[in-house]
Every structure is written in structure tokens, then in C-alpha cells.
A and B are shown apart, each in its own frame.
Chain A
Amino acid sequence: MCTDCGCNNNRPHTVYNDGENIIHTPHSDPLSVEVHSQLLSQNNQQASLNRSLLEQHNITAINLMSSPGAGKTSLLERTIDELKGEYCIAVIEGDLETENDAARIRAKGVSAIQITTGNACHLDATMVNNALQQIDLEAVDLLFIENVGNLVCPASFDLGQHHNITLLSTPEGDDKPAKYPVIFRAAELMLITKCDLLPLLDDFNPQQATHYFRAVSGNRPIIQLSSKNGSGIDAWCAWLKDACSQKLTSL
């Protein structure tokens, strides 16, 4: 017999009075549900939709990640100068605040959508989808997504890009891949930027940076470049052209 109310229901149950009747709601045993799903599955699903949308329009999408000030926007300006004649380029800019970077890209005659994330430390697939809706996708074949400057968070969020690239600028020091392995492991290409400064820096050894990158990323390629003096830009543009043509043949 129930010790709460004296009814004959032996199962644990809640008793309450709805004003007219005493209502007994039996408790069921706790139920264990196996899930085994990705925590960010919703973001990943949106990222897949973005990727399909890009593929419908034959667009190759490149996600650029780095710390703030590593030279992502300068690299894009230089890249646009080099490739504007061959590719229709668009840029999605992620920053906490300001339209400054988008304005720099637009000054090069390329369409740029600025996402200001407020206090969010990374772009996610929904933000990128919102930006994609503002772009004339028919008129684009190479899309750069300049992620929020941050060496931690952006690596965990798939945006629907085809390639992840991480920049390491020489003033940051050559051990960043060892300190931030997650974002460098996510990169299929590492760009060592601001190499024009190498003669001035005694704490950046490109071989050491390569060693640390190899330890997290295996034999993935590395390009040393300078957006300022143009060294290595040819190799970078060749990599991009290869990425775009591979994209076309896989479609």
C-alpha cells in the first residue's frame, strides 16, 4: 500500500490534488537512452547544406583561420590582385566588430559580406548561410571565408568550406602549432606569413615551425610567403588554382 495516500498502487508515484480529485501519476524507472551523436550535429548539418549550395554553383570555398593580425586580409588583398582576372572572387569577413576588413576587400572591386559576431569568438555554419544568401552565387567561383581572428575556437565549427587553411605569422613565434594543435591539425595547408620580417626576427625559425606543424599534421604542405613583397604568392596562387580545378573535376 502506498505510504503517501494509502492507495493500492505499489509503484512510486506523485500525488497531487487538482481541486476536485486526488491524482496519482506513477513514476517510471529512469530511462537510459544511448545517443552517440556529435555535439555540434546541428551545426554540421547546416555546414553540409552550405557545402551542397556552394557545389550547386561550382564554388570552391576556403576557410582562413589564424590569430588576429596574422595577415589574413592583407593576404586576400594580394590574392585578389593576382587572381581577379581568372576567378570571380567573393569574401565573407568575420570580425567581432567593424566593417573595416570588408571595406578593404570592396576597395579591390570584389564583393565582401561582413559578419559582425558581437562577442562570438568564431563563425558558425548558420552565420555563413546568412552571408551566402546575400551573395550572387551565380557570379562567384572562388569564395574566401575569413574567420574571426582566434587560434582556438574556429577549428571546432564546420562552415561548409572545402578547404581549411591556417596562417602563422612570423612575429607570433614558431611554436604556435605545438601550443594550439587543434587549429593547426585542422589545416590542410599552413601558410607562414610576413616572411619579409624574418631577417628582423631571431625567435622564428621556419624549420622549427615546420617541425611543430608536421608533429600535428603529418606531411601536409606549408607555403612561406609575404603579402608585402610578394614572395611565395605564386606558390599560394598555384595551390588555389589546383584546389579550384580539383573541385571542378570532382563535380
Chain B
Amino acid sequence: MHELSVCRALLQQVTDIAEEHHAEEIKVIRLKIGPLAGIENELLLRAFPLVAHGTAAQHATLEITSMPVTILCQDCEEKSDVEINRLTCPHCNSSATQLISGDEMMLDSVILGQQSGAEERYVH
């Protein structure tokens, strides 16, 4: 269950970003995860609220885009979407392939809520 470690690292990054932008809350966190990253999206979704509790990210929605496993064959130069455990070229059977998508473990973007401090306050 290394998803908990991944969530802690994620939380650190997003709370740093929120602080940098003087934001009080993080509304949305968008991730891109490929199946070869070795992360179970379902577990990540379940672990995140546990680590985010009491932080600016506690009400954040975690949006995960699952990336396809795509290879580029270095012999026939065909691009193909393949199974996670079959990274050989389905066209020419070559094993000289390059993974062009599928191992992402990326924080893509965040949407921050109310900003504090940056703007003036009105006093009546």
C-alpha cells in the first residue's frame, strides 16, 4: 500500500502550491497516472482523504486521468496501444519499442479557491 506514501508526497506538493498563491483551499487536484506507474487509482482515491484531513486540500476533488499504455516501435515505427504486460510491437513483433505513455505519475494541475492576503479588505 505505497499509495499512502504517494498521497503524502502529493499533499506536500499541493499545499506548497496553495501557500505560494496565498490560497486558503484547494478545490481540484488533477493527476495523470499510467498503469505502469504501479499505482492503484482506487487506493489513491481512498487514501487521499486520510492524509488531507485538516489541510487546505481536505475538500479537494481528486481527478485522475488514466493514461493508455502506448509504445513506438523502433523497427517498423508504428505507434500502438498495448497491454501492460505486452510491450512488444503488435505489428512486427519487435521488442525494440519505446514507451511513449503509460508510466506517468504526474501532478498535472490544481484549482485553488479563495485567495487570502493578496487582495484588499473592506472595513466598514
Interface residues of A (CB under 8 A from B): 5, 7, 9, 13-14, 21-28, 30-43, 120-122, 124, 152-153, 155-157, 177-179, 181-183, 185, 212, 214-219
Contacts and interface: CB of A to CB of B under 8 A. Distances in A.
Interface of B: 1-2, 5-6, 9-10, 12-13, 17, 21, 23, 27, 31, 36-39, 84-88, 95-97, 105-116, 118-124
Given A24-B124, A36-B108, A156-B2, A30 B27 contact: yes
A56 B113 CA distance: 45
Contacts of A179: 85
Contact of A21 (B1, B96, B123): B123
Contact of B13 (A14, A28, A41, A185): A41
Given A9-B122, A31-B115, A181-B36, A37 B106 contact: yes
B108 A34 contact: yes
Contacts of A24: 121-124
B6 A40 contact: yes
A211 to B, nearest CB: 10
B124 A39 contact: no
A189 B110 CA distance: 38
Contacts, number: 137
A35 B5 CA distance: 20
Given A37-B107, A121-B2, A25 B116 contact: yes
22 contacts: A7-B122, A21-B123, A22-B124, A25-B116, A26-B120, A30-B113, A31-B23, A31-B111, A31-B112, A32-B109, A34-B108, A38-B106, A40-B6, A41-B9, A42-B12, A43-B9, A152-B2, A152-B38, A156-B6, A181-B87, A182-B38, A219-B95
Nearest 5 A/B pairs, CB to CB: A24-B122, A153-B2, A182-B38, A181-B85, A218-B95
A28 B118 CA distance: 9
A181 B10 CA distance: 24
A24 B114 CA distance: 13
Contact of A178 (B9, B38, B85): B85
Given A39-B105, A39-B106, A152-B38, A21 B85 contact: no
B72 to A, nearest CB: 13
Contact of A185 (B2, B36, B113): B36
Given A28-B115, A40-B6, A155-B38, A215 B85 contact: yes
A41 B86 CA distance: 28
A184 B82 CA distance: 17
Nearest to B110: A33
Nearest to B98: A218
Nearest to B7: A39
A242 B115 CA distance: 56
A35 B107 contact: yes
B94 to A, nearest CB: 9
A25 B119 CA distance: 8
Given A9-B122, A24-B122, A32-B112, 15 more contacts: A7-B122, A13-B122, A21-B123, A24-B123, A30-B113, A33-B21, A34-B108, A35-B108, A38-B106, A39-B106, A156-B37, A156-B38, A156-B39, A185-B36, A185-B87
